[in-house]
Structure formats: C-alpha cells, structure tokens
Amino acid sequence: MFDVLVYVYEHYWRPDACPEAGLLARKLSAVGFEEEEIADALTWLDGLRSVSTAPMVAPADGSARVLASAERERFGPEALGFLHFLESAGVLTGAMRELVLDRAMAVPRAPLTLDDFKVLVLLAFWSRGEEPDSLVLDELFVDDADRVVH
C-alpha cells in the first residue's frame, strides 16, 4: 500500500490533480501495482480526502495529546518518537496531528515503521495543499544511511 501512496504523491502534486478512483486504479494497475495494494491505498486516500475536508474542532496548538492504547500500539517506537519530534519542533499543528493520527489508525497493519509513518505525514501535508519547510522535507525524504556528515 505504501508504495502506491508514494507513487501517487510523486506523480500528482496536488490532490485535485489526482484522477477519480476508477481511473487512478487503472493507471496504478498499468504501472504494475497489485490489485490488493491498489484497493488498500484507494480506501486510505478516500479516508484522507474525507477527513481533510470535514469540519473539525481543532485542538489548540501546543496542546498535549495522550494517545489511547490502540493508538500507541499502532506506532512502532521510531514512528512514535518521530511524531513527538514533529510536534515539539512545531511542524505539526494540533489539527495536523489529529489528521496524521486518524490516517495512522486507518492503516491495515501495525506497527507502523518509521518510513511508513513519514509517508503518512507527507500525504497529510499534501492533502491540505501544504508543504513543510525544507529541513522537515529533508527529514521525511532522506534516509539516515544516505546523509552526508560534514
């Protein structure tokens, strides 16, 4: 599923540029993705679209969020640490944090790896037509093994 989501992110720069589900499914199938992966990704994207456009009472920025046990189980330790890092760095507002948590809970398997969680964060920003600053993008895209130490 995450490979499909990355493909969508890389090929459709804005959510409104993304074709409707039937056409997108055909395109993804033609590229070589498996039917089950496509179905999972389209279901997840449909949920993202619904949550992104639904009116929500946004928590105050800087508010504390205690995760339910089911939410804690969904995250691997690295992904949970990265969530806390993004919050403490001020990258995730309260509303964006809730969007990311909602979409993390919609992933069909647990725990989330750090790489999978980073994809969810990217798509949360993408769904709102926002782009995090360049340092955060670097954290989301560049693998630690590929970093050059100065």
Reduce the DSSP state of residue 64 to 3 states and report it. coil
Tell me the CA distances in angstroms from 117 to 1, 24, 74, one per residue in order: 12, 23, 10
Residue numbers of the domain that contains 40: 2-146
Number of domains in the chain: 1
Per-position DSSP letters for 94-114, written without gaps between them: HHHHHHHHHHHHTSSSSSBPH
The pTM of the full predicted model, rounded to 2 decimals, is 0.83
Reduce the DSSP state of residue 28 to 3 states and report it. helix
pLDDT in tens, the chain (150 residues): 999 999 999 999 788 888 999 999 999 999 999 999 999 999 999 999 888 777 777 787 667 888 999 888 898 889 999 999 998 888 888 888 999 999 999 998 888 999 999 999 999 998 988 887 766 767 776 555 543 444
DSSP-assigned letter for residue 38: H
CA distance 38 to 5: 9
